[in-house]
Amino acid sequence: MALSDRLNQYQPYALTVLRVVTGVLFIEHGLQKLLGFPAGGQFPSPLPTLILVQGIIEIVGGLATIVGFFTRPVAFILCGNMAVAYFMAHYPKNFFPANNGGDAAILYCFIFLFLIFAGPGLLAIDNNKK
């Protein structure tokens, strides 16, 4: 059995791990915005209402991502959300993502884009829908 064949059999598990870890980290960003936990968030902010909405989106979207609930539509919303966040909050600071703090937003955007097409993997509420 070729190495690629052996690795391919674990693809659904790897996709599940990617989905769950992304959701947990995404929730952490939302908690920083809403509760200041874990400490070290990016505040005070000039747009408190926008930050509040963003925090709610990150927590709710992160929870839905973790459990695999409406994975594709949620990922679509979160992908667009991260693209907008990058161009509103990070890009104006500097052209380069490493300098403007937007590298996480770009990574989240592309992970959610991938989940739109790949689906939830294993252990997802979406898999139990009939």
Q: pLDDT, tens digit, for every residue of 60-85?
A: 999 999 999 999 999 999 999 999 99
Q: Is the pLDDT of residue 17 over 70?
A: yes
Q: Say if 26 falls within a structural domain.
A: yes
Inside any domain, residue 91: yes
The C-alpha atoms of residue 130 and residue 126 are separated, in whole angstroms, by 9
pLDDT score of 79: 98
The reply to whether 68 falls in a domain is yes
- pLDDT value for 76: 98
22 occurs within a structural domain: yes
Domain that holds residue 114: 13-123
Total number of domains constituting the chain: 1
Name the pLDDT band for 38 (thresholds 50, 70, 90).
confident
In a domain, 98, yes or no: yes
Report if residue 128 sits inside a domain.
Answer: no
Query: How far apart (Å, rounded) are the C-alpha atoms in residues 26 and 39?
Result: 15
What integer pLDDT is reported at residue 1 of this predicted model? 80
Peptide bond between residue 120 and the one before it cis (omega within 30 degrees of 0): no
pTM: 0.90
Q: Would residue 1 count as lying in a domain? A: no
Q: Are 96 and 41 in contact (CB under 8 A)?
A: no
* Residue 88 forms part of a structural domain: yes
